[in-house]
Structure formats: structure tokens, C-alpha cells
């Protein structure tokens, strides 16, 4: 075990992936000798050469189109989009191409080797275009996997699993935690399962569900709630698509209450999908309405970021209201 922050864990995962498989390539804007604007690809070009870790021209649709072609050829491209806010020029390549490549060809061709990494999320004074959480746009697209880690240990294990997964995978990294989150990370290669939520803490009164950087917010809120005597079960969804219905439903069958929180806006956010599904699955067991604590339905603001943000106080209030309903 070694103590790392999330960036170091991601860099370590990329290093291991490139060392174990010479068809793994890392590319994107500024990922080359500079090592990325967040330094996630530090030293990879120096270690594996310019052919395997390189800068691309500044064109997101090109980066993903190029990555699709490479993956179809049998390589394992790990493409970086500098901020998740700038993934939209590549939306067509991801939604119409990556996601449908295997299905439309009858499995003659696929882009299973593809992984797209992108820093996401707010809380860093990033304003409209350095704060977004776009996972719900992609969750509406069969054929993709969407993974979000919450800490360095998760980041390394889930990124290695994403690179090795035989399906195109979007890996959204909570940039607010890049340096803020540190922890023990196993050395060498290991994978954490994609498609499985993780129960972080057992409880009996209410299930509190989130992913990525929001898990830190949940921890604070739950700490407050437990002091009030509310027993909270905490779940990290980890994979947005395909998501782990069983683990969440099992928990809600027990607690009878569910609070879901994400940074992205409420309307059309992934919490809506979870709420609808759990309502179907657990109707007779629900003791309060399913609560969603999310960003409000505005673009992500700069100065009033704190007001907009689904922070621990808002999550705590939702837990209290849910239990006292």
C-alpha cells in the first residue's frame, strides 16, 4: 500500500495499463510531455514514448473519432477530454458511434477497448464550463458504460477495470477531489467491479445514495444525521450505466426511505431514473417520498456556486425530512 491522492492513483493506473499491454495508448489535449493540465498523464510520454502518449490537435470530436477507429482496430485507447464540459463536441461520436458500434455491426466490429477519461464536477469556482456533471446525457445511451470513482483506491481499481472492460467506458473523475482526496492505494494491478454499487455503511432508517465527489458530501451529512439518532445506510453507486438496481433496491426494502444526491441539475438527472425504478420495485415498502438533492435547474454559476451546490446541509435536511415524514 502507498499513500496517494486521486491524480497519483489515476496516473499509477495508466502507468500499469501501459506497462502490461503495449496496445494501450493515452492521448488528448496537453497530455503529452506536459502530462495533462491536471498532471494525470505525468511521465507517461517520457516512459512509453511519443507514439503511445501524445498530444492531439484541439478537437474533441476528432479525439473520440480517432479513439473509436483505434479501438475498432484492436487497440486500447484511453482518450482524455480536458473537462467533461467539453465532451459535447464529441457527443455524436460517443452516442451514435462508440455506443452502437458492436450492435449495428452484429458484433463484426466493436470499440470495446475504448476508455474516455474526463474531469467533471463543481466546487472549484469553475463557472459554467469547468463544473458540469454530464453523466445523465450519456446514461440515456445503451451501449456505454459510465463509471465515477470517489477516492484514490476506487479511481485506480475502477480505471483499470474500465480500460480492460470489453465495452466503451466513460470514466468521469471528480476533479474537486483530485488532490483533496488521499488514501491508501494497493500497489500493482487490481480491478474493482464495474456495474456494482458498494454499501459503505449499513443503517436501518434511510438509504443515502450518490457517486463520485458527492460521497464526501454524503459522509458529512450522514455524520450530522447520525448525531440526531438517524441510522443511515450509505451507498456509492460507482457505475451509472448499467447501474446496480439490486443493491439499491435491497437496501431500500430494508430502510423504506431513499435520498439520492448528485451535482447535476434535477430535471433529467440520473436520480430521476433511480427514483422511478426504486418506486416500481419497492412501492409497498416506501415510508416516505424518494428525495432528490441536486443542483437546481440552472447553468452552473460562479459567484453563487455555494448556493447552487447540493452540499451536506441540504443532504442532511433531506435525510431528516425523509425520516420524519
Q: Which residues bind to other proteins, rule: CB under 8 A? A: 23, 25, 51-52, 54, 56-57, 59, 61-62, 64-75, 77, 89, 92-93, 96-97, 100, 102-110, 112, 142-143, 145, 166-167, 195, 242-243, 245-246
The secondary structure of 78-101 as a DSSP string is EEE-SSGGG-GGGHHIIIIIGGGH
Q: Which is nearer to other proteins, 142 or 289 (CB)?
A: 142
3-state class percentages of the chain: helix first, strand second, coil last, to nearest 5: 40, 20, 40
Bridge-based pairing state of the strands 2-5 and 182-185 = antiparallel
With CA atoms as reference, report the closest residue to 173 among 165, 162, 183. 162
With CA atoms as reference, report the closest residue to 131 among 149, 118, 146, 144. 118
Q: Which is nearer to other proteins, 56 or 131 (CB)?
A: 56
Q: Which is nearer to other proteins, 196 or 228 (CB)?
A: 196
Segment (H or E) for 201: strand 198-201
Q: Which is nearer to other proteins, 4 or 94 (CB)?
A: 94
Bridge-based pairing state of the strands 115-120 and 206-210 = unpaired
Nearest-approach distance from CB 63 to other proteins, in angstroms: 8
Q: Does residue 261 contact residue 291 with C-beta atoms inside 8 Å?
A: no
Q: Which is nearer to other proteins, 8 or 75 (CB)?
A: 75
Tally the residues of the chain.
325
Contacts of 91 (CB under 8 A, 6+ apart): 137
Nearest-approach distance from CB 187 to other proteins, in angstroms: 29
* Residue positions annotated with a catalytic role: 60, 130
Amino acid at each position: 500500500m502507498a499513500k496517494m491522492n486521486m491524480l497519483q492513483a489515476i496516473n499509477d493506473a495508466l502507468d500499469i495499463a501501459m506497462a502490461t499491454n503495449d496496445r494501450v495508448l493515452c492521448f488528448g489535449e496537453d497530455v503529452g510531455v506536459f502530462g495533462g493540465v491536471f498532471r494525470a498523464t505525468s511521465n507517461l510520454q517520457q516512459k512509453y514514448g511519443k507514439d503511445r502518449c501524445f498530444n492531439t490537435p484541439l478537437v474533441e470530436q476528432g479525439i473520440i473519432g480517432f479513439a473509436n477507429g483505434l479501438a475498432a482496430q484492436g487497440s486500447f485507447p484511453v482518450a482524455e477530454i480536458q473537462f467533461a464540459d467539453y465532451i459535447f463536441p464529441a457527443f455524436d461520436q460517443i452516442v451514435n458511434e462508440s455506443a452502437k458500434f458492436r450492435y449495428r455491426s452484429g458484433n463484426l466490429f466493436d470499440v470495446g477497448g475504448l476508455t474516455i477519461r474526463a474531469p467533471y464536477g463543481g466546487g472549484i469556482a469553475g463557472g459554467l464550463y469547468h463544473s458540469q456533471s454530464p453523466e445523465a446525457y450519456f446514461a440515456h445511451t445503451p451501449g456505454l458504460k459510465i463509471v465515477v470513482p470517489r477516492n484514490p483506491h476506487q479511481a485506480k481499481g475502477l480505471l483499470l477495470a474500465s480500460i480492460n472492460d470489453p465495452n466503451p467506458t466513460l470514466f468521469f473523475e471528480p476533479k474537486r477531489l483530485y488532490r483533496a482526496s488521499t488514501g491508501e492505494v494497493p500497489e500493482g494491478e487490481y480491478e474493482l467491479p464495474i456495474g456494482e454499487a458498494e454499501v459503505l455503511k449499513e443503517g436501518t432508517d434511510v438509504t443515502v445514495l450518490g457517486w463520485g465527489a458527492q460521497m464526501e458530501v454524503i459522509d458529512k451529512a450522514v455524520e450530522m444525521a447520525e448525531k440526531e439518532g438517524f441510522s443511515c445506510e450509505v451507498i456509492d453507486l460507482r457505475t451509472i450505466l448499467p447501474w446496480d438496481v439490486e443493491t439499491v433496491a435491497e437496501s431500500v426494502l430494508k430502510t423504506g426511505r431513499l435520498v439520492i444526491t448528485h451535482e447535476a441539475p434535477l430535471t433529467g438527472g440520473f436520480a430521476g431514473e433511480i427514483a422511478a425504478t426504486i418506486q416500481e420495485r419497492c412501492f409497498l415498502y416506501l415510508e416516505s417520498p424518494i428525495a432528490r438533492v441536486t443542483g437546481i435547474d440552472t447553468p452552473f454559476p460562479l459567484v453563487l456556486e455555494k448556493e447552487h451546490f447540493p452540499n451536506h446541509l441540504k443532504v442532511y435536511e433531506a435525510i431528516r425530512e425523509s425520516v420524519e415524514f
